[in-house]
Structure 1
Amino acid sequence: MSKIKKSSNNNIHDNFFKSLFSVKENLEDLLKGSLPKEVLQGLKTDTLEYDPTEYVDQELAPYFKDISCNVKYGYSNIKISLLYEHKSYPDKNIHLQLLRYILNVWENQAANKQELTPVITMVFYHGNRKWTDAGFVKNVPEELKRFIPLFDYALFDTKDIEDHAIIQHFKRPSVKVAVWFMKRSDNLIGFIQSNPDLARDMFRQIEQIDTNIFQKIALYLYKVSGVEPDKIDEIMETISPKAKDAFSQAADELRQWGYNKGIKQTAINMINKGYSDEQIAEITHIDMKQIHKLRSDNSH
């Protein structure tokens, strides 16, 4: 299967968005809570299959990160694409960008000898400015409309949903916490401090979140807040001892992961510089078996 060129954007929000909603169950929950009701009525969400292909090309990379899935709508096959909007403000050329994106999907389907399917695009936006839509081609006479590719898109603007309503709006705890964090990402820790009751209600969801997913959520909080982990621990203690313990444990695991990654990279660098296994073991304290594996992997 041919692959569209991937975006190289390593933005904190992009990575969090991608890692969370690439999980089929999280994507399904977000779509159920965000798509128009008339669309959901015909959507057979039990047929949803995650599509790992990225349809964002170099031209679209500054604007979007995408996640797609294939699903049945009645008896028809359709594709739904969730596009995370990079910018903190709406782009007046959103229709041109989405049209290019849809064309990328269709070109990929054609190249793989697949039937062209309807593509529903949904824009995930959590910017500070109010989302405005300038429209596409304006003032088109009725007799010319058939020559214009008129289409719509769904919009999920985090500002349109109240913080306290997020808990009822979605079913999966990981989606509830993640959407809330992204909604308040510009001052997440400050908002938690100012709204302890809301934070307690939200953090009650933590116990139901898979450990791997919670680590991604915790990492997002530490990165996006820019606050020292010890300070975050103090704040969490005032909110909930359980929340403090959960985030502290995640922070320790993330620190250990970073430490181990650094030690591993040091060993690889030493291998490349010609150090012996004994020298590497003495400096890094990595056991011989792992050093032999690193040396073998590095020689391929």
Structure 2
Amino acid sequence: MENRITNKHDATFKEVFSQKRIAKDFIENNIPKEALNIIDMESFELQKDSFISKELQENFSDLIYRVKVNNRDAYICFLLEHKSYKDKLAIFQVQKYILEFWTSTIQKENKEELPLIIPMIIYHGKEKWNLKTDLRDMIPGFYELPGYFKQRVPVFKYDFFNIGEYEENDFEKLTKLTAMMLKAFKYAFEEDLEVVLKNFLLALEEVKDEEPMDILIYYGEIYLKYIELTNNDIEEEYIEEQIKKLNGKGAVTMSILQKRERLGIEKGIEKGIEKGRQEEKIKIAKNLLNEGVEIALVAKSTGLSKTEVEKLKEEFKN
């Protein structure tokens, strides 16, 4: 179950942050202005690559965006921390990731210049992350050392975001859509399911004045599926009960539930039609076989496979 939730968390994270508008919103509100001034956000593009080795798979998932910094290629890497506890080796794991990125650049792309890489760890575990995010801060007296020593210590540093510790003012600087999706990560493991749903429903309602209904349903469905998995005993009847408690502030969620119901009915109808077609094909095939028509011609006439027709013929013999 833990692996299932981790995989779903990865899938949800990637689905959310692969939306360029959300990734850009997050970056523009979390990178210093002096850095943003030389980043060309118009060049911001999602990449298909991943540099997570087998060794790092239990630690991170990654999502990579290429961007121009001072008119040169650079990469912003979102690294989702898998573990629900703080890992003292995280700073070295991030550097292994960057080294593999650079190694690939040199070996596979045959380049001599290395791109700038900005690693961002996103974490939402319950345990407080009080680890250093800069290797230099882990060496006592580093900043008082002569330059000779400083130049021989590699810069291991990453940006760190603990979504689980976000306060309301942290969400307010983001667009309401981005805030809604980050709240999914923040509240997904809340023990009180009623609190989880209330935050979900209210967050969705806050967005409805800014986004068209199809966008709301798309992101709301992602959010709802995520909550359902991380709270595997939840049922739609319970969600409907919580909606009723919010005095009309659950209209969007009801639309999602109704859409699900419609899709369920439509799929049921499609399955019924397909079953009927298959039964009709079998009936025709049996009649043709009874008339002595060859197997190949029966298969061609009905659309059944040769194996299926042979099986029907065996049934006749028996």
Shorter-chain-normalised TM-score: which range? Answer: 0.7 to 0.9
Which of 44, 48, 54 is matched with 2:44 structurally?
A: 48
Where does 1:131-210 land on structure 2 (aligned, <5 Å)? 131-134=129-132, 136=135, 138-139=139-140, 142=146, 143-163=148-168, 165-166=170-171, 168-171=172-175, 173=177, 175-187=178-190, 189-192=193-196, 199-200=201-202, 202-206=204-208, 208=211, 210=215
The 3-state SS of whatever aligns with 1:71 is strand
Q: How many residues align?
A: 265
Match of 2:29 in 1: 33
**Residue number in structure 2 paired with 1:11:** 7
Larger RCO, structures 1/2 (Cα 8 Å, 6+ apart)? 1
The TM-score, its normalising length taken from structure 1, stands at 0.75
Counterpart contact for 1:222–1:229, Cα < 8 Å: no
Q: Give the whole-Å Cα distance in 2 for the aligned partners of 1:59 and 1:181.
A: 28
**Quick check: 1:84–1:125 contact (8 Å CA) kept in 2?**
yes
Cα displacement (A) at 1:159: 3.6
| 2:110 alignment counterpart | 113
Gaps of 5+ in 1: 1-7, 268-274, 281-290, 296-300
> Secondary structure of 2:57's partner?
coil
Q: With structure 2 as the length reference, what TM-score do the two structures score?
A: 0.71
CA pair 256-163 structure 1, distance change in 2 beyond 3 A: farther
Segment drifting more, 175-184 vs 231-240: 231-240
Q: CA deviation at 1:292?
A: 6.2
RMSD: 3.6
Question: Distance between the aligned counterparts of 2:87 and 2:202, measured in 1?
Answer: 36
Once residues 123 and 48 of structure 2 are traced to their aligned partners in structure 1, the CA distance between those partners, rounded to angstroms, is 21
The one-letter code sitting in structure 1 at the alignment partner of 2:207 is Q
Say whether the 8 Å CA contact 1:77–1:117 is kept in structure 2. Answer: yes
Check the 8 A contact 1:65/1:83 in 2, yes or no: yes
**Alignment identity in percent?**
22
Task: Return 73-82 or 33-42, whichever deviates more.
Answer: 33-42
**CA distance in 1 between partners of 2:259 and 2:97 (Å):** 37
What letter is aligned with 2:151?
R
Aligned to 1:287: none
C-alpha separation in 1, matches of 2:203 and 2:59: 34
Q: Within 2, Cα distance between the matches of 1:260 and 1:102?
A: 51
- Of structures 1 and 2, the larger Rg is shown by 2
Q: CA deviation at 1:170?
A: 1.3
Helix, strand or coil at the partner of 1:252? helix
Q: 1:214 to 1:113 in 2, by over 3 A?
A: farther
User: Contact 2:38–2:69 (CA<8 Å) still a contact in 1?
Assistant: yes
8 A contact 1:236–1:243 mirrored in 2: no
Aligned equivalents of 2:124, 2:259: Cα separation in 1: 25
In structure 2, the CA distance between the partners of 1:250 and 1:106, relative to structure 1 (3 Å rule), is farther
CA distance in 2, matches of 1:293, 1:248: 38
* Structure 1 residue matching 2:92: 3-state secondary structure: helix
Q: Unmatched 5+ residue regions in structure 2?
A: 284-301, 307-318
CA drift at 1:222: 2.0
Instruction: Classify the secondary structure of the residue corresponding to 2:43.
Output: strand
